[in-house]
Amino acid sequence: MPKLKIEDLEKISDEFKRTMTVREGGGKVKVTVHMGTCGIAAGAREIMNTFVQQIEEKNVKDVILTTSGCAGLCSREPMATVEVLGQAPVKYVDLNSEKAKKIFEEHVLKGVLVKDYALSIGSERIQ
């Protein structure tokens, strides 16, 4: 291991930032994939994997990916909710991996709503 220079501190810090973001529960955007039995049956795992791949590929540090149970709208599964910090959450329905990719690129990264797939804005979050 070569001796650390000051710049290296930043590099290491940067490299581990994604892990830390997850641990600290911070992050700019939170993506929730609904993984109830219905969701899994409709292919939520594939959506989840797509998001994970995207995060890794694009080397994104400040996005949190999480899961939740059934959202109650089983007929429109797979579903995902994207919540940009400080904005109302947006629910997307009838997803497949293509759609998920697009949502990730547009909404998660650029902050532009993908109206075509969106169901609603706002949610019935548990307090």
Interface residue list for another protein (CB under 8 A): 1-6, 9, 12-13, 15-27, 30, 32-37, 40, 48, 52, 55-56, 64-69
Query: Closer CB to another protein, residue 33 or residue 90?
Result: 33
Query: Closer CB to another protein, residue 89 or residue 113?
Result: 89
Q: Assess whether the previous peptide bond of 89 is cis (omega < 30° from 0).
A: no
Q: Map 15-70 to HEC letters.
A: HCHHHHHHHHCCCCEEEEEECCHHHHHHCHHHHHHHHHHHHHHCCCCCEEEEEECC
**Residue 72 contacts residue 125 (beta carbons within 8 Å):** no
CB of 16 to another protein, least distance (A): 3
Query: Closer CB to another protein, residue 19 or residue 120?
Result: 19
Q: Cα separation of 25 and 21, whole Å?
A: 6
Query: Closer CB to another protein, residue 24 or residue 94?
Result: 24
CB of 71 to another protein, least distance (A): 10
CB of 91 to another protein, least distance (A): 15
